[in-house]
């Protein structure tokens, strides 16, 4: 199964006790797992048993200052700082990639370069960085700012940021270390490079005081679907996560990204497009639908509306009745792309606020597939073979149950069809993804 | 041995392949261990076998932009980002405390609060934070600045920083979580607190989106010996690390700190003063001295002078002859306290530059004890019982060898004398140190 045939890539998107908004209230779920490291270690091991390319953490820098009564009704998100947790998980796994979201907005690039270099070394080359910019005022308020930075500026800054980070990762050549006890040279002085970056947003001298990461650079991931986001992805990303509700949308997005990548002078195969999928699986379609309906029934309406409001740019919905059609809103400086995707769905399907929050709340904008393991495998195969995806970021509605079901029931079908690995091809995330190890910027002159 | 008798506290200061400047060139040392996580895990396990209170990492944010030929001759310092590494080490240890230096200068307090909360949760309450401010221009140059901030301002800022961090750790009361699936309340809304800090240097809204740390607050450590540093320590520290060359110096420092702590309205027992000690141990005093002399002979003179220069404030020493007496220098905005300590020694002992760098290079300003295990135990007991120390931060000259020797030979003597634990008293770092778990700032009103 490790021939050169194109195969599906899989990410396990880990979050608390499940991706469904009401997961923590499900009687089969232990809500205390939201605060237990053992739970996350266990999930990573299940995903590794399923030969997933990587586990993935989203991240956010705080909670909105909304009514505490409302906050208290949601399972805590982003309880853990992701890089410390991935470092811990790296010790109980061997092969699976370790991807975390880290925002460029409030962490100096020197710190980020160092954190990911360290994670890449201590995991033997399994680190991936999902580059985001922070898009809310409540996050800005935790970092000395009144409001978030404008969307375009965030992306311009992010582009320079990535360049600085890669430059720091190149501080020492791959073969710089000598360990020569006799001569007293620990490394070869010619193989040390000072970055001396002076740009529009950053001045960073370097060097980073660590060996070049095992993977050269940790794998760069992005999830932006706005124009700015897609352009940044075309230039820098190696994995693109996306939320797509339909086959047509997914295919158009896939083609758009691949074209932009080619225009940016890169190999389209060097960027893996992985839409998010929430699989709701049971022995029959009816049972799967019942399972989903039961989860939906556990959503508190207050929470549903609040989540929807946050997703369309923290717009106050309290003036509307819950059964009004979704009104038109201006785009804000927040997450433009997500906003747009959600509002498009509302218009296309002519939804009320209640219908939209139910739709969004379930998988937070990602596509929900409800059916048997065979149904799910069929749909993934279709998306993959029809040019709409290189792989999928899987969002199980509850943890650990629905991840286990996916690994035990869907993975074997994909393997039988020759669409998915039966064993890891290597030890690094780059090797799993079939991505080239990038050379240092100093390689030609070295 | 777990009676209420006052006992010695021990920290294992871990650094690369040893604390002696030339450790990596010693034929018994494997210099490649400087880049291996397994090496650090192994050291932590040795220290835990020795019932140490904690392991400890120093930290620095970059390398100076000096001649690469010179940099290449030193073993790499601060290769690893310490919080990711401590998170990994937490998975292969059970009881030992995990202390890291993190500078307040270039990391927003929200990030720091979150990183340490996460480390404290994932280690079951073993995190400690050694609060430093960054004192070099080369570090400033990695963070958009031309020069470091003035010494006094760094400390004023640090004081506000600690206050913000503790406020964020108090975001949720200890008993805030309900996990109530029926009512749909994950936590009790009244037990969530928005910080809304607006100070001279920081505006931080909060809340931190994690449970209160296991220890309430991770243990706060400081090592400043300047006036500003000692005052900050008196107000906030629970462990004070210090470099003291003599019994008299150590005793004066100890008394000074305890008095300042009392003046700040705190219990002097709530702050443990732990001088650094580099023990050079062999079966006889003669063999120990030979062992030390051999290590000293491995120091490259260029490196010795460069280190000395860095330690006294990056002052250029190239204009002086290596056998000139140490000249007078003005204090800089760098590490004022360390500078002063070193220059005092030079004056007192009338040293040349060569003699001073040899002295400093050995243990980087810390006291070196050379002798048998019995000699070392005697001296530690003396310092401890005569009011010069509550414990010691141990800097083995080479790793793992000299840490193993200390654990196998010195620790049993201290245990036999009833001066040191034979088993951990609890599971958290606070419990090892006999420190009270701090209440939340909202406790009285809760």
Q: How far apart are CA B392 and CA B395, in angstroms?
A: 9
Least Cα distance to A311 among A345, A277, A350 occurs for: A345
A204-260 tens-digit pLDDT: 999 999 999 999 999 999 997 888 889 999 999 999 999 998 999 999 999 999 999
At A275 the pLDDT is 97
Six-digit token string for A438: 């990038």
The lowest-confidence range among A133-142, B75-84, B94-103, B351-360 is B351-360
Residue B326 DSSP label: P
Partner-chain contact A65 B194, CB within 8 Å: yes
Whether complex ipTM tops 0.95: no
How far is the alpha carbon of A120 from chain B, nearest alpha carbon, in Å? 10
At B112 the pLDDT is 98
- Residues of chain B contacting A25 with CB distance shorter than 8 Å: 181, 184
- Residues of chain A contacting B65 with CB distance shorter than 8 Å: 194, 205
A311-364 tens-digit pLDDT: 777 777 878 888 888 887 766 655 566 777 788 888 888 888 888 888 777 777
- For B181-296, strand residue ranges (E) read 185-187, 197-198, 203-204, 219-222, 239-242, 272-281
Do residues B19 and B278 lie in contact, with contact meaning Cβ atoms separated by under 8 Å? yes
| More confidently predicted of B434 and B332 | B434
Mutate to test the interface with B, among A61, A84, A111 (most CBs of B within 10 A): A84
The confidence band for A11, taking pLDDT boundaries of 50, 70 and 90, is very high
- The residue behind tokens 């963070």 is B143
At B2 the pLDDT is 41
Per-window interface: A 342-361 vs B, CB < 8 A:
none
- Residues of chain B contacting A161 with CB distance shorter than 8 Å: none
At A401 the pLDDT is 98
Least Cα distance to A36 among B179, B220, B84 occurs for: B179
Examine the pLDDT at A445 and tell me if it is beyond 60.
no
Q: How far apart are CA A80 and CA A36, in angstroms?
A: 10
Cβ–Cβ contact B446 with A under 8 A: no
Least Cα distance to A102 among A169, A156, A165, A40 occurs for: A165
Six-digit token string for B195: 């910080």
Examine the pLDDT at A446 and tell me if it is beyond 50.
no
Examine the pLDDT at A282 and tell me if it is beyond 90.
yes
DSSP calls for B14-55: --TT-SSTTGGGSTTS-GGGGG-HHHHHHHHHHHHHTT-SEE
At A334 the pLDDT is 58
Cβ–Cβ contact A64 with B under 8 A: no
- Which residues does residue A187 pair with via DSSP β-bridges, in sequence order? A177
Per-window interface: A 108-127 vs B, CB < 8 A:
108, 110-111, 114-115, 117-119, 121-122
The lowest-confidence range among B14-28, B131-145, B320-334 is B320-334
How far is the alpha carbon of A356 from chain B, nearest alpha carbon, in Å? 21
> Sign of torsion, CA A405 A407 A410 A413?
negative
- Rounded mean pLDDT, B218-240: 93
At B405 the pLDDT is 98
Least Cα distance to A123 among B35, B88, B122 occurs for: B88
A392-417 tens-digit pLDDT: 999 999 999 999 999 999 999 999 99
- Residues of chain B contacting A194 with CB distance shorter than 8 Å: 65
| More confidently predicted of A117 and B444 | A117
- Rounded mean pLDDT, B219-233: 91
How many Cα neighbours within 13 Å face the side chain of B403?
Answer: 32
B266-289 tens-digit pLDDT: 999 999 999 999 999 999 999 999
| More confidently predicted of A362 and B413 | B413
How far is the alpha carbon of A296 from chain B, nearest alpha carbon, in Å? 14
Cβ–Cβ contact A270 with B under 8 A: no
Which residues of B contribute to the annotated binding site for FMN? Answer: 59, 101, 151, 155, 225-226
Q: How far apart are CA A392 and CA A247, in angstroms?
A: 13
Vertex B134: Cα angle to B403 and A156 (nearest 5): 120
At A4 the pLDDT is 61
Q: How far apart are CA B310 and CA B315, in angstroms?
A: 7
User: Alpha helices of B101-246 — where are they, by DSSP H?
Assistant: 109-122, 137-140, 151-169, 227-236
- Residues of chain B contacting A303 with CB distance shorter than 8 Å: 184
B372-412 tens-digit pLDDT: 999 999 999 999 999 999 999 999 999 999 999 999 999 99
Q: How far apart are the first and last CA of chain B?
A: 38
At B334 the pLDDT is 57
Q: How far apart are CA A329 and CA B287, in angstroms?
A: 80
- Mean pLDDT (chain B, rounded): 92
Partner-chain contact A87 B87, CB within 8 Å: yes
- Residues near B38 by Cβ (< 8 Å), separated by ≥ 6? none
Residue A393 DSSP label: E
Partner-chain contact B209 A79, CB within 8 Å: yes
Q: How far apart are CA A149 and CA A136, in angstroms?
A: 9
At A357 the pLDDT is 85
> Sign of torsion, CA B121 B122 B128 B130?
negative
Cβ–Cβ contact A265 with B under 8 A: no
A23-75 tens-digit pLDDT: 999 999 999 999 999 999 999 999 999 999 999 999 999 998 888 888 898 87
Partner-chain contact B71 A189, CB within 8 Å: yes
How many Cα neighbours within 13 Å face the side chain of A423?
Answer: 5
At A65 the pLDDT is 82
Which residues of A contribute to the annotated binding site for FMN? Answer: 59, 101, 151, 155, 225-226
How far is the alpha carbon of B437 from chain A, nearest alpha carbon, in Å? 20
The full set of domains in chain A, from first to last, is 9-282+366-433 (3.20.20.30)
Per-window interface: B 141-160 vs A, CB < 8 A:
141-145
Six-digit token string for B277: 């000690």
At B3 the pLDDT is 45
The secondary structure of A271-340, three-state, reads CEEEEEEEEEECCCHHHHHHHHHHHHHCCCHHHHHHHHHHHCCCCCCCCCCCCCECCCCCCCCCCHHHHH
At A121 the pLDDT is 98
Three-state SS at B172: strand
Three-state SS at A140: helix
- The residue behind tokens 């002519």 is A350
Partner-chain contact A107 B106, CB within 8 Å: no
At A347 the pLDDT is 84
At B132 the pLDDT is 94
Query: With pLDDT > 90 as the criterion, what percentage of chain B qualifies?
Result: 75
Residue B409 DSSP label: I
DSSP calls for A93-134: -SS-EEEEEEESSSS-HHHHHHHHHHHHHHTTS-EEEEEE--
Least Cα distance to B391 among B407, B361, B371, B414 occurs for: B414
- Rounded mean pLDDT, B11-35: 96
At B341 the pLDDT is 74
- Residues of chain B contacting A179 with CB distance shorter than 8 Å: 24, 31-32
Partner-chain contact B122 A24, CB within 8 Å: no
At B349 the pLDDT is 87
Per-window interface: B 168-227 vs A, CB < 8 A:
177, 179, 181, 184-190, 192, 194, 202-211
- Residues near A371 by Cβ (< 8 Å), separated by ≥ 6? A280, A281, A285, A288, A379
A398 CA to centre of own chain: 18
Vertex B275: Cα angle to B269 and B276 (nearest 5): 145
The confidence band for A1, taking pLDDT boundaries of 50, 70 and 90, is very low
Which residues of A contribute to the annotated binding site? Answer: 59, 101, 151, 155, 225-226
Q: How far apart are CA A416 and CA A405, in angstroms?
A: 17
Q: How far apart are CA A377 and CA A65, in angstroms?
A: 41
- Rounded mean pLDDT, B343-349: 83
Burial of B6 (0-12, 13-18, 19+ CB in 10 A): exposed
Partner-chain contact A204 B142, CB within 8 Å: yes
Partner-chain contact A87 B92, CB within 8 Å: no
- Residues of chain B contacting A73 with CB distance shorter than 8 Å: 184-186
B84-125 tens-digit pLDDT: 999 999 999 999 999 999 999 999 999 999 999 999 999 999
Least Cα distance to B177 among A34, A111, A92 occurs for: A34
- Count of A-B CB contacts under 8 Å: 219
At A3 the pLDDT is 45
Vertex B166: Cα angle to B160 and B172 (nearest 5): 140
The confidence band for B337, taking pLDDT boundaries of 50, 70 and 90, is low
Widest pairwise Cα distance in chain B: 79
Report the residue from B77, B87, B119 with minimal CB separation from A209: B77
């Amino acid at each position: 199964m490790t021939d050169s045939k194109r195969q599906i890539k899989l990410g396990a998107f880990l979050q608390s006790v499940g991706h469904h908004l009401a997961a923590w209230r499900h009687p089969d779920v232990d809500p205390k797992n939201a605060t237990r490291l053992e739970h996350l270690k266990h999930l990573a091991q299940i995903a590794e048993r399923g030969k997933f390319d990587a586990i993935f953490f989203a991240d956010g820098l705080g909670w909105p200052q909304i009514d505490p009564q409302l906050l208290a009704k949601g399972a805590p998100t982003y309880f853990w700082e992701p890089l410390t947790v991935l470092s811990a998980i790296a010790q109980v796994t061997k092969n699976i990639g370790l991807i975390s979201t880290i925002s460029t907005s409030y962490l100096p690039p020197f710190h980020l370069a160092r954190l990911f270099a360290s994670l890449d070394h201590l995991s033997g080359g399994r680190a991936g960085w999902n580059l985001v910019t922070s898009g809310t005022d409540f996050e800005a308020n935790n970092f000395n700012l009144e409001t978030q930075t404008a969307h375009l500026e965030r992306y311009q800054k992010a582009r320079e940021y990535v360049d600085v980070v890669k430059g720091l990762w190149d501080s020492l050549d791959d073969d710089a270390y000598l360990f020569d006890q006799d001569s007293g040279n620990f490394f070869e002085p010619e193989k040390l490079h000072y970055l001396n970056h002076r740009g529009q947003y950053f001045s960073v001298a370097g060097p980073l005081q660590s060996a070049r990461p095992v993977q050269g650079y940790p794998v760069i991931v992005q999830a932006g679907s706005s124009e700015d986001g897609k352009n940044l992805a075309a230039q820098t990303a190696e994995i693109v996560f996306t939320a797509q509700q339909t086959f047509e949308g997914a295919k158009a997005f896939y083609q758009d990204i691949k074209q932009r990548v080619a225009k940016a002078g890169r190999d389209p195969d060097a960027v893996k497009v992985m839409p998010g999928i929430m699989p709701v699986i049971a022995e029959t379609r009816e049972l799967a639908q019942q399972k989903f309906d039961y989860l939906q029934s556990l959503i508190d309406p207050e929470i549903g509306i609040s989540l929807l409001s946050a997703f369309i740019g923290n717009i106050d919905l309290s003036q509307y009745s819950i059964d009004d059609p979704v009104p038109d809103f201006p785009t804000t400086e927040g997450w433009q792309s997500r906003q747009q995707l959600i509002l498009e769905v509302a218009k296309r399907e002519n939804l009320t606020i209640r219908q939209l929050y139910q739709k969004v709340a379930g998988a937070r904008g990602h596509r929900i597939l409800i059916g048997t393991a065979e149904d799910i495998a069929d749909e993934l195969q279709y998306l993959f073979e029809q040019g709409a995806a290189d792989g999928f970021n899987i969002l199980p509605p509850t943890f650990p149950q629905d991840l286990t079901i996916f690994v035990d029931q869907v993975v074997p079908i994909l393997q039988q069809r020759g669409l998915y690995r039966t064993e890891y091809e290597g030890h690094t995330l780059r090797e799993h993804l079939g991505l080239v190890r990038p050379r240092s910027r100093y390689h030609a002159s070295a």
